[in-house]
Amino acid sequence: MTDKKTRKKPPQKDKRGLFAVGNSGGGRPKGSPDRRTAPFRAKVDAALPDVLDTVIKAAQGGDIQACRILLDKSLPNVRPTDVPRALPLHGDTLTAKAASVVQATAAGMISVDEAARLLQALGSVARIVETDDLVKRIEALEVKR
């Protein structure tokens, strides 16, 4: 018997229902439900309202583990946020500005993470300046020729 869509023979299986060596059969399509877990999922879906009620009651009764389960699944993780602030960067060169960042970190004006991000940004600016300088030098050399 052949598959009407692809006109190929169906994959050959052995006595146990497993695919023969070298004949994978393509496997289950992505997104299709696994028939082995369908009964389990149906039981869980049916019992879910009662389970949730039980966990909520336990949390209200002071069960810390139940509280953790509810909070972990219902609230997003809190991520630290930086408060925007003005940081004077003294000096005309990128080196002097980087030194200002290090001094501000040592004085406790900014956190180490903020300093690392600022220094990384200054490094990016330095690479941009270097690229601009190289382009100008190449253009000057081409004009001389």
d(CA 23, CA 16): 14
The secondary structure of residue 110, as a DSSP letter, is: S
The secondary structure of residue 73, as a DSSP letter, is: H
- The pLDDT of residue 13 is 74
d(CA 67, CA 62): 8
CA distances from 142 to 59, 132, 134 (A): 75, 15, 12
Q: How does pLDDT run along the chain (145 residues), one tens digit per residue?
A: 544 555 666 667 777 877 767 666 666 677 777 888 888 988 999 999 999 999 999 999 999 999 999 988 888 887 777 778 888 888 899 999 999 999 999 999 898 989 999 999 999 999 999 999 999 999 999 998 7
Decide: 2 and 8 in contact? Cβ < 8 Å.
yes
- The pLDDT of residue 15 is 78
d(CA 121, CA 84): 15
**Would you state the structure tokens that stand for residue 64, as one six-digit string?**
């810390």
Give me the residue spans of the domains in the chain.
38-74, 94-144
